[in-house]
Structures are given as structure tokens and as C-alpha cells.
A = this chain, B = another copy of it.
Amino acid sequence: MANEDTRPLTLRDVSEASGVSEMTVSRVLRNRGDVSAATREKVLEAAKALGYVPNKIAGALASQRVNLVAVIIPSLSNMVFPEVMTGISRVLEDTELQPVVGVTDYLPEKEERVLYEMLSWRPSGVIIAGIEHSEAARAMLKASGIPVVEIMDVDGTPVDSMVGISHRRAGREMGKAILKAGYSRIGFMGTKMPLDHRARKRFEGFTEALAKGGIEIADQEFYSGGSALAKGREMTEAMLKRTPDLDFLYYSNDMIGAGGMLYLIEQGIDIPGQIGLAGFNGVELLQGLPRRLATMDACRLEIGTKAAQIIAGLVEDPKSTVEKIVELTPTISYGDTLKRR
């Protein structure tokens, strides 16, 4: 039976209904300490009959333990963070810990607010995307006294530990592969980057690699907002109108790359002969496209997995030592749009 009035049920209600002390009821409900089968039975029955749901707020305050892991990411709407979340969830499912996500929309101020908000719930750990944070945010993370893992990127210094790839290196590798394949008139398309540090670092690594080969980017364009697939299509069309002699297009993510690819196929352009293409991320989506876009896996699943493992390990044994820096190595898949050499 549901309770008749609106007052939420408490342990005391279950205690009274079952004739067992609050403390013992608490023990039964948490499977802690020795309780006789008979008492246990009585308690469980009463709790179920009443429809009692424990109050974790009170429990957490009393025990000084909150089995929550704050996960702070820029966005849920592209494909990358859901996959990181999958990795995190899989690991945490085998523990007492639960992820709670906060979204920052790539805004530093919002990141700060979200972090403050989440820390005020006293989570057991924090997983946060990126290593660029405001001074205040870094201070909060440091002062929190809980395990902190910064993810996605390893080009910089972590507050505590970090798991990710070097985006600068990723950009460089792709640049080298493109040069090696013999392309030389290269266009770049990507998001407006002031706040997307990882995209910026890839771009920097990329131009650096080209420069080493004595080549400069021949054209570039940046977008923000809208359907990425459509943007890729539009930008590609515009860029080829503007700079018709390009022989390679490097996209800062797979979605715009896919849009570009669909456009080029429609135009009957030979890929990768006349124009080569590459994106970044290795999204599953690509598998259904007419050609497999060349791309680079960002190791999203492993990043989530590894980060969660670090937190879980540290929560279980705070004095255990863990790797402070875990750099994963993305690999290029050439697909059908980048000549192999």
C-alpha cells in the first residue's frame, strides 16, 4: 500500500511496521552486518508493503559517503561523448558508483557553474573533459580532495590525472599521411575553434606537419551550429568553387566529412584520385556511407573505461597509486578516401 498522506516514508515507519529497531532495519536494507534470516524477512516484507524507498540524502550525510561520480562534458549531441559515457557506465556498473553527468556547452563559465554545483553534492570523484579550465575551476578541483580525471586530451598538465590522446599528434599524423600519399593542395574545414581546444590542437598539429613538408593550407573554412552533415556539404561546395584546384580536404570531424563526401560523389568527382578526404573520430555512422571515410579513431570507449577504472580504484583504496598520465594512441583508418602509400 502506498502511504496515504504526503509525508515520505522513513526508516522509522518500517521499524514500527516490522517491530524491529531502526538500526536493524537500516542494516537489512543495506545488507550490512549480521541479521537473522527471520528479522531480515520481516523487515523486507514491511518495507515492500509500505513501498519504502530509502533516503540517500540522509544516508549520505550520516555516512559521509556519496557513491556518485561527476562526469562533466561539453555536449551530448554529437557522437563522441555518448560513447565515452558508455565506457564509463560499463565500468561503474560493476561498482557501487554511479555516474552523474553535467553538460557545459563548451562554455568555461558554464563549466565552472556545473562543477561547483556537482561538487556541492560531494561526489566520490570527478571525470571532466579537457584540460583547459578556468583558474577557479582548477582550484575547486584541487581543493575538492577527491580523485579527478581529466579526459580526452593529454597535451598539457592535469590537475590530478588524465586519460586521452594527443590531438596535436593526431593532427600531425594525419598531415604526414596526407603528404605521404602525395597530396599537396589541401583545404581544411572545421568548427570555429576558440573554445574547442582539441579541434584547435589537431589543427595546429596538422599545419605543423604540412609546414615540415613545405606546404601551407590552401584554403580553410570554419562553421558553427546547424546540421553538421549539411554544413559539410555546403562548405565543401563553397570551397571548391573558391579554390578549384584542391586535391585534399581535411575535416575536423567525421560528420562534416561525410557531408563533403556525399557532395563530391554526387558531383562525380573521383575519390581519392582527384580529391582525397579525411575526417576525425571514427564514428560508427560512417559504416553505412557509400565510401568509408578516412579517419582517426579517438579511442573514446577506452578513454571512458580507463578514466572510470582510475576513479573506481582510487575510491576503493585512496592510497593506491595509479598512472597519472594515460596516453592512448589513435590509429588512422584509410578507408576509401585516402590513398595509402
- A3-B143, A101-B101, A142-B2 known; A288-B230 Cβ under 8 A: yes
Closest Cβ of chain B to A72, distance in Å, is 13
Q: In the complex, what distance in Å separates the CA atom of A259 from the CA atom of B287? A: 10
A314, CB-defined interface residue at 8 Å = no
Interface size on A, residues (CB 8 A): 57
Bound CA–CA A85/B79 (angstroms): 15
Asked if A23 is at the interface of the complex by the 8 Å CB criterion, the answer is no
Smallest beta-carbon distance A134→chain B, Å: 13
From the candidates B77, B143, B227, B286, name the one contacting A86 in the complex (CB within 8 A). B77
Given A8-B145, A229-B289, A290-B266, A116 contacting B57 (CB threshold 8 A) = no
- Asked if A228 is at the interface of the complex by the 8 Å CB criterion, the answer is yes
B residues less than 8 Å from A120 (CB atoms): 53-56
Contacts of A232 in B (CB 8 A): 288
Q: How many copies does the complex hold?
A: 2
Residue A122 at the chain B interface, CB threshold 8 Å: yes
A288 touches B144 (CB 8 A): no
CB distance from A14 to the nearest CB of B (A): 13
Take A61-B61, A139-B2 as given contacts and tell me if A121 and B229 are in contact as well, using a CB distance cutoff of 8 Å. Answer: no
- When distances are taken between beta carbons in the complex, the residues of chain B under 8 Å from A321 are none
Mark A residues whose CB is within 8 Å of B.
2-3, 6, 8-9, 51, 53-58, 60-61, 66, 76-77, 79, 82-83, 85-86, 89, 98, 100-101, 103, 116-117, 119-122, 139-140, 142-145, 227-233, 258-259, 262, 266, 284-290
